[in-house]
Amino acid sequence: MMTEADALALLGARHADPFAVLGLHADTDGKLWLRALLPGALTVTAVDPVTGKTIVKLALRHPDGLFEVCAARRRKRFDYRLDVTWADGQSGCYADAYAFGPQLDDTDLAALRDGNHLRPYTVLGAHPMEQLGVSGVRFAVWAPNARRVSVVGEFNVWDGRRHPMRLRHDGGVWELFVPHLGVGDLYKFELVGPDGSVLPLKADPYAFAAQLRPDNASRVAQLPAPRPLPEGRAAANARHAPLSIYEVHLGSWRHGQGGRFASWEELAHKLPDYVADMGFTHIELLPVSEHPFDGSWGYQTLGMFAPSARFGEPQGLEQFVQACHARGLGVLLDWVPAHFPKDAFGLAQFDGTALYEYGDTREGVHRDWGTLIYNFGRAEVRNFLVGNALYWIERYGVDGLRVDAVASMLYRDYSRDPGEWIPNVHGGRENLEAISLLRQVNEQLGLHAPGAITLAEESTAFPGVSAPTSSGGLGFHYKWNMGWMNDTLQYMGEDAVHRRWHHDKMRFGLVYAFSENFVLPLSHDEVVHGKGSLLGKMPGDDWQRFANLRAYYGFMWGHPGKKLLFMGQEFAQPNEWNADAELPWQLLQDPRHAGMQRLVRDLNHLYREHSALHRLDCEAAGFEWLVCDDADQSVYAWLRRDGEGREVLVVCNFTPVVRPDFRLGVPAGSSWREALNTDSTHYGGSNLGNGATRLMPQQVAAHGHENSIRLILPPLAALFLIQD
């Protein structure tokens, strides 16, 4: 018999083991009792699922909706449905959630507990399925310290009494199969914390879809089918391949009709064609995982497995990725494993304890962003993050992940004053747990997603970011070169007359250029928070600002390292990026902006077509300085090589002064000709330069070579020369 204490616990939504009393049970005398908790029901009858005939009618034990009956005529367990009449006049016949046995396999539970489940998203979360001939959704959530967990939604009027879950103690996981639910249904979890308090309703950490903000419920969705990288993508992502990345904030690239967010379908029809035409090799998307605040641009995510509802259904992202691949483009997603926001419906104090985050604020709170830091040392949290990285690669077929805020993960004293951080076990400042996690992510992706790549946004001198884990590195394929970006932008911001005093800033990057596999990033971070636009950073009058930016792009595309440019900068957006408005495409009616766009397109195609400009991007053998000490004239010149005999010569003049007779030492060999001149009228320049003239080497020694050529150096311009 059910005790009064059990009844009161059920009615008060405090029962820790509802499967012990609800559903069909035999008492000590072998009699079968059927119980159901259905607040709001008037009558409940058990019926045969095949014939629909009445088996037994349940009696109301408590007016709040607790029904029970002794099926005295039955000696064996039987299948049944509950025919319910509700107080509002509606009725229905339902399978009983408490008629289904344990949902999760013991092997899965052990792997989840130990942090060894490579794909935890196949077990946890909401999974539509059929059991015993009944369609429904299996829910599972990790909350080891909760006293009670219920799944709630529109299907049970958000009543935590209706569907309390079963605790599988071995893994600290609560589970329940809810019949008759399906794709599109909204749900959350209601938890009672260890102190007995009811927590704010929680979204599912493993949800595959979510409501559009400001609503924040999880939405039942099918787990996407595995989608391997198409043939050829691995080679296109490789170290010797050209990588030129177009960084995109989807919400403001182009809007849909009426100023709304463009849908995945609309984006798939426009964005890949544009990026491919511009000559970029990859699209990098600011985080597409669900996030409550538009102004975070996705970097404060609370739906790590859910593509944002801003752009439509999750399947739309799959179609977008396929559209990019069809145009020969790789897709990179920004991924944020460093921290998460404190919103009450999210991961913070998920089961009433510091579950996903470090418990000590000296470890668990990010001072700069007001967010919480994942507990990188906890097995289940590591499993969550490693599984999430693999999820995006395997299930959406993307080419790789750009990992955000790596520097903040690596150091325990990041942005903290003395006394505000906890040293590691050796007394040092490195976060050994985070370092181990990053290595684990990269190793697992290497094993299970060959051909995919990871890129680290890492701003310190931490050694071996892009070195293999087998040699002590972090295992990333590429690292953003933040030092190069800072130094060169500072130089370009100087008036040309003062640049001679800052000459080293443009060449210093070559001191360490081959210590990592670098990406040269001109990202969204350089055009927000009062920093203006790239064009706005350039000095001089209007003509000089455009010329400076053209020359800077030439310098960047000729420099060793892969390339990244944030959207809008390819046509010299003059104002700071506004995430709430679409890019000012009308600027392309101005020939200066259209010329800048043509330049970026041609630089990309030049970079891709000439192996000397990309094949040894990350190796010293692919670079030779010719002129690095001409501070008085602010001239730089170098050779790029592909290691197979092909060379490209790059020359930059960062003053508005024409150099009509500049002698430049070159290797012995054939003549040279201009392949690209950023001062061409085609790009908005003054059209000075060498045109189609064949530049014949003369036996006049210069810059360490026995031969040299004579050049006209245009003002504020970069030249690319190739051998005939």
Catalytic sites, residue numbers? 404, 457
Query: What residue type is assigned to position 80 of the chain?
Result: Y
Task: Name the maximum alpha-carbon separation found in the chain.
Answer: 111
Element (H, E) at 713: strand 707-713
464 C-beta neighbours (distance < 10 Å), count: 16
Collect all residues with Cβ–Cβ distance below 8 Å to 205 and sequence separation of at least 6.
124, 125, 141, 142, 304, 305, 347, 350, 356, 384
Collect all residues with Cβ–Cβ distance below 8 Å to 404 and sequence separation of at least 6.
287, 299, 334, 335, 336, 337, 338, 457
First to last CA, the chain: 95
Collect all residues with Cβ–Cβ distance below 8 Å to 109 and sequence separation of at least 6.
168, 170, 171, 173
The β-bridge partners of 151 are: 189
- The whole-angstrom separation of Cα 583 and Cα 384 is 36
299 C-beta neighbours (distance < 10 Å), count: 20
Measured in whole angstroms, the distance separating CA 253 from the mean position of its chain's CA atoms is: 17
- The whole-angstrom separation of Cα 562 and Cα 243 is 5
For the record, the structure tokens of 98 come out as 């408490």
Q: Please, are residues 172 and 142 in contact by the beta-carbon 8 Å criterion?
A: yes
Measured in whole angstroms, the distance separating CA 669 from the mean position of its chain's CA atoms is: 48
Distances (CA, A) of 361 to 42, 199, 202, 404, 692: 50, 21, 22, 21, 65
502 C-beta neighbours (distance < 10 Å), count: 16
Cα angle 218, 219, 220; round to 5: 125
Closest alpha carbon to 154 in 188, 203, 183: 188
Collect all residues with Cβ–Cβ distance below 8 Å to 151 and sequence separation of at least 6.
139, 163, 165, 176, 178, 187, 188, 189, 190
Q: Please, are residues 121 and 110 in contact by the beta-carbon 8 Å criterion?
A: no
643 C-beta neighbours (distance < 10 Å), count: 13
- The whole-angstrom separation of Cα 676 and Cα 96 is 72
400 C-beta neighbours (distance < 10 Å), count: 27
Q: Please, are residues 662 and 711 in contact by the beta-carbon 8 Å criterion?
A: yes
Element (H, E) at 34: strand 32-37
Q: Please, are residues 610 and 639 in contact by the beta-carbon 8 Å criterion?
A: no
Q: Please, are residues 455 and 478 in contact by the beta-carbon 8 Å criterion?
A: yes
Cα dihedral sign, 462-552-334-297: positive
Closest alpha carbon to 636 in 523, 502, 539, 486: 502
Q: Quickly tell me which residue has 């001191």 as its tokens.
A: 511
- The whole-angstrom separation of Cα 217 and Cα 303 is 10
- The whole-angstrom separation of Cα 366 and Cα 377 is 17
Q: Please, are residues 371 and 337 in contact by the beta-carbon 8 Å criterion?
A: no
Q: Do strands 518-522 and 562-566 pair parallel, antiparallel, or not at all (unpaired)?
A: parallel
Q: Do strands 717-723 and 672-677 pair parallel, antiparallel, or not at all (unpaired)?
A: antiparallel
- The whole-angstrom separation of Cα 278 and Cα 571 is 11
